[in-house]
Amino acid sequence: MNLRFIETFLWIVRLGSFSAAAEKLNATQASISNRIATLERELGVQLFDRESRNVTLTPVGRAAVPKAEEIIRAANEFREAIASPTTLKGTVSIGTIDSIVHSFLPHLFERVQERYPGIAIDLNVDTSLNVAREITDRKIDLALIMGPVPDPALINLELGTYRCVWVANPKYGLHGRRLSFEDLCGYPIFAFSKGSAPHHGLLKQFRDEGLDPPTISNSNSLATIMRLASDGLGIAPLPRVILDEHLASGKLVQLDVFPAFKPLTFHAVYPDHPDNLLPSIIAVMAAEVSLSMADA
């Protein structure tokens, strides 16, 4: 029995259509249909109801899903345990955010390249909200974001918590003394993308201090925020782990603000699916790398 045909069966079930499975597996829809027809002939059963407009499993098809998952999971575990990492090939699509790109992602890439040189990574950088949508819709294999994503079909692996600090160009003369949120209201503020958890958290901190939130300019690019703050165009809360170079050069100084900005907690999110072995392995690698750098 062809394992690829069983995998195709599971992808159709998971994505809900022959066409979506064809796109995911880089095959034609006719090829996908032929694989299922061949599998059904070998088993002597009908797995899908062809008379329905939507892809619908027959009772036998529904019973076959957990067994098929066991087969694929066992095959992948066997391959991972026995095969040389250098023989594993393929592409893993990862969605992530700017905070991770500027913190532990380069170290993760280095580790993946060392262990799995045949694995290519298709990387997309966006907001946590958009990446969470993509992993929920199964458009990517792995999400590295500010999570978790509440979906029973997804695994959320915590990657650690990163401390955030307020920084500014030294020209403002704000360093060396305790600052309140009321003190911050008199300066332009750059912060995380609008609608993100850190953005909502920042607004809440001002309200908790009995203050109307000031005008806050937003960006999902930490490089942009750092550049604007370094050029003296405003103050900003940023992950401490990414600031070493800017603080050492004197372009930015760390401010003593109370209460402190809420730390960022990252998660690796991936579908709990038997053919998702490589994304799950990379998620564990991400946890190892990230937790070694987390400081909160």
Mean pLDDT value of segment 138-160: 90
On the question of pLDDT at 77 being above 80, the answer is: no
Question: Cβ contacts of residue 211 below 8 Å, gap of 6+?
Answer: 181, 182, 185
pLDDT 10s digits, 206-229 = 999 999 988 899 998 888 999 999
In this predicted structure, what is the pLDDT of residue 249? 95
For each of the domains in the chain, give its residue range(s) and CATH number, in order of start: 3-82 (1.10.10.10), 86-160+265-293 (3.40.190.10), 164-262 (3.40.190.10)
Short-list 65, 225, 217, CA closest to 153: 65
pLDDT band at 125 (very low <50, low <70, confident <90, very high): very high
pLDDT band at 83 (very low <50, low <70, confident <90, very high): low
Mean pLDDT value of segment 80-97: 77
Q: How far apart are CA 33 and CA 192, in angstroms?
A: 46
pLDDT band at 52 (very low <50, low <70, confident <90, very high): low
On the question of pLDDT at 84 being above 90, the answer is: no
Question: Cβ contacts of residue 278 below 8 Å, gap of 6+?
Answer: 88, 90, 92, 116, 119, 141
**Which region among 27-31, 76-80, 286-290 has the lowest average model confidence (pLDDT)?**
76-80
Q: How far apart are CA 7 and CA 13, in angstroms?
A: 10
Mean pLDDT value of segment 262-274: 87
pTM, rounded to two decimals? 0.71
In this predicted structure, what is the pLDDT of residue 73? 75
Task: Write the CA distances from 102 to 52, 83, 132, integer angstroms.
Answer: 48, 33, 19
On the question of pLDDT at 283 being above 60, the answer is: yes
For residue 106, the tally of other CB atoms under 10 A from its CB is 11
On the question of pLDDT at 296 being above 70, the answer is: no
Angle at 41 between CA 36 and CA 43, to 5 degrees: 95
On the question of pLDDT at 134 being above 70, the answer is: yes
Omega of the bond prior to 271 within 30 degrees of 0, cis?
A: no
pLDDT band at 276 (very low <50, low <70, confident <90, very high): low
Mean pLDDT value of segment 42-69: 86
In this predicted structure, what is the pLDDT of residue 252? 96
Give the whole-number percent of the chain exceeding pLDDT 70: 94
On the question of pLDDT at 81 being above 70, the answer is: no
